[in-house]
Amino acid sequence: MTLAKIEPLFQAKLNQLQQQGVRKGDEKIVSGVLPPSDGLGPRYRLQGYNDRAFLRMNSNSYLGLAQHPAVISAETRAVEEFGAGPGAVRFISGTYAPHVELERRLAAFHGREAAMLFSAAYATMVGVLPQLISEQTMVISDALNHNCIISAIRLAHPAAKAIYKHGDMLELESILSANRDRYQRVCVVTDGIFSMRGDHAPLAELDACCTKYQSDYPEGIVTLVDDSHGIGAIGLSGRGTEEVTGVQADVLVATLGKAFGVNGGYVVASATTIAYLRETAPLYIYSNPITPAEAAAALAALDILESDEGLGLLEKLRHFSQKLRNGLQQIGFETLTGEHPIVPIFIRDTARTAALVAHLFDHNILATGLNYPVVPQGDQEIRLQVSAEHTEKDLDYLLEVLGCFNN
């Protein structure tokens, strides 16, 4: 056996990605975390740069709970009690008490009848969406939906699919109207928070549109929202896009790996829907769950989010997100209004985006540049992500370094 014939094709693809400026290259390896000191938040050591300490502005850990003592302690105790791993898929012998309790708590947190854990949010979407789609289902998707939704639609092989312009409810309505009586069922799927921009889906308008055409499809219209970047990041109580818009989706997917600071994904819905998914979703049936210790850590994170401490972290996150947006505008950068801690800087040029990422790195700041084709041509950006573990001094330093680049 040999890869000799196919490896030149692999190398050609790598060269193409390099020429396009989108090859990710070697990953930076975190080798240590320095605790907060002198009014600064945590700093991160990178392998090969051990004499430098970096401010991390590209983390999804919005509430800083990955470093919270109660979360770490809960995981440690559970490892000692249950061991390091689940040992099997859940229907064989891999379901532990922390899994069941976490599902119960997540369902209650989202005001749903039931919840179901997966190994990751990506696995959740790819596991759930195809089970909601039959051979007579049309899928309708927002143009800026995450790659997990795109992959899930491809895997599902729906009867038809349509894409509406980002957030364009008039186009969604046009699609639903034009396809009346052509399909048994429609599934409308969208991100809650769009990960590249930090804006949210207009769920109230989307729900009203779907309700208007519900009777035109024999099996109805199902709404599925992935709010992985919304839960624990927006809303007065951290319940995400649904809280902000006042509307619940039929099926909600989210993650434990961002604001909760742990690992894993989950879905909440009606009891019947979750029971159906447990019997049909391959990525649940044939994959190990998150570890019992990760489930225990997520329970501790949920306890914090539902406490006065959690409300304080959310308020801090809102304040810092607004501070960064105001500061960017004052020094002449283009961004979006909003309350989410994803704060994009639109550079709209590939070379200048790369130059700004390098400038920030030279000043010990980690940030992510997004270039075409990851984002549309002309929408090249730096995606900054605020965390409650940041401090006023951290953001002041970030804005100072950005100001030097823009002047």
Catalytic residues: 195, 229, 258
Cα distance between residue 126 and residue 96, in whole Å: 24
Distance CA(174)–CA(180), nearest Å, equals 10
Indicate the SS3 state at residue 193. strand
- Sign of the CA dihedral with 362 first, then 363, 367, and 371 last: negative
* CA angle at 56 for the pair 54 and 62, rounded to the nearest 5°: 155
What amino acid is encoded at 401 in this protein? V
How many Å apart are CA 6 and CA 329, to the nearest integer? Answer: 49
Torsion, Cα of 313, 319, 325, 330 (10° steps)? -150
The span from the first CA to the last CA of the chain, in angstroms, equals: 57
Cα distances from 223 to residues 140, 165, 253, 398, in angstroms, run: 10, 17, 11, 39
Among 388, 397, 58, smallest CA distance to 195 is for 58
Rg (CA), the chain: 22
- The string over 360-399, giving b where at least 16 C-beta atoms fall within 10 Å of a residue's C-beta and e elsewhere, is bbebbbbbbbbbeeebeeebbbbbbbbbbbbbeebbebbb
Closest by Cα among 144, 158, 236 to 192: 144
- The alpha-helical segments, DSSP class H, found in 110-168 are 121-128, 147-156
CA-CA-CA-CA torsion sign (59, 61, 64, 66): negative
Which H or E element spans position 360?
A: helix 350-362
Q: What is the CA angle 229-195-343, rounded to 5? A: 95
How far apart, in whole angstroms, are the C-alpha atoms of residue 287 and residue 285? 6
